[in-house]
Structure 1
């Protein structure tokens, strides 16, 4: 009986959530249309014309090459940010003194506009793939590290005592105790790190690349092509939103499982 009741309760909740999402999208599109009418199509193109421009960009023979260049850099940067951030967060969370020292340093680094480091990255890595990856990692690794570190710090002490009882090695403790217990918070950090890594990769393409979607965006800005800017921004927004919804659903499932 309880299972049936939970199922009946969950279904209306999911339906209501989907309806709220549809209403939100409709309201945003309506506000976009109103803003375009007020400011003019030269400033903000209408949703319909933006969608048409996005379709034209996707249909361009050069677009797959730009998408591949951006995707290659972004996937590499996000993989480094995720693995490096989780490992560093586990280490700093387990070593509280080291974490207390590193946390303000990381926050200080993160408060610096990364564009100011553009000359350093350019001199070190040149124009190309690695410059974009470095820009992405600089934006994404810090939130993943901080979320993971705080998750380890909030771990119930009984987990640590159990690990000592079973005489787990530091690697075994991290693999079998720390990481499974911290997964929901780690996923939250990955969700934030994903968006910021994408932002950093695009900034890297805008300033340190001659290919990719970020480079296309920079060229459109230089030419004052509002339609292209809006279309590229729309595609990036939709992509980031969909992936964040997947991460959010994963995080909710893990939290509910706990």
Structure 2
């Protein structure tokens, strides 16, 4: 590539980055303006204004009580996310390779994915009881189906020559999945992880709201019950920020995986 072509490519990339940064800044300002308008209109009864929320959040981050609840949520979420990712990846690979099993399992998983998981709350409590296990179960229930469906669809869309080549080389099923299917399906797997991350976190928070006395979900419900609007707004703000940052990082990872696969 010549120096002129390189400079043009660099210039286009820089201009695209500036446009994206400008769009992001406009979106943030617009959301803060709407947030301020709603807080002022409700006089802080439903939602506290942005400045008040940020001040309360910084004070909350310096308390031991918050970090105790955050540690409980983090432990349950990590376990739920790892289980959702590993089980979903394994099931997606198996159902993708075994066509008939995939055709049977796909509508069942899609139907389960659309069911509001809160309706299964009594069943989860009867099986797992209160505490950590119920929160993890809620997280896995939310994150397992999308991970499985993304992986299944990716394997199904692969060129058949890959699997035939693995059979010719006499690779075992485990090596075929790890050495052939996973690298070929990596962009879709990363997208499945991104969706599973968000839904697993949502499931854990719902579990804490219904079946726990520790965690950010419980802290949110406590703020609502005590009509502590700054507390509930600060917890929601923190959860949204964590979800946005994590999704942005995983989205970039997915784009890099897609670029390398191409």
- TM-score interval, smaller chain: over 0.9
Cα 1:226/1:182, change in 2 over 3 Å: same
Residue among 67, 72, 77 paired with 1:74: 77
1:231 maps to 2:227: no
Q: RMSD of aligned C-alpha atoms?
A: 1.4
Q: CA deviation at 1:23?
A: 1.7
Q: Is the 8 A contact 2:113 2:146 kept in 1?
A: no
Distance 1:63 1:226 in 2: 16
Match of 2:106 in 1: 103
- What is the number of residues matched between the two proteins? 258
The equivalences for 1:16-95 within 5 A come to 16-95=19-98
Q: Distance in 1 between matches of 2:147 and 2:179?
A: 20
- In the aligned structure 2, how far is the partner of 1:245 from the partner of 1:87? 25
Distance 2:238 2:99 in 1: 42
Say whether the 8 Å CA contact 1:57–1:63 is kept in structure 2: yes
Moved over 6 A (4+): none
In 2, the alpha carbon distance for the partners of 1:88 and 1:64 equals 35
* Aligned residue in 2 for 1:169: 172
Deviations 1:57-104, CA, capped at 9 Å, x for gaps: 212221111111000000000000011111110111111111111111
Q: Partners in 2 of 1:253 and 1:15 — Cα distance?
A: 20
Kindly report which structure 2 residues correspond to 1:113-124, keeping only aligned pairs within 5 A, or say none: 113-124=116-127
Runs of 5+ unmatched residues, structure 1: none
- Residue 130 (structure 1) aligns with: 133
Give structure 2 stretches of 5+ with no counterpart. none
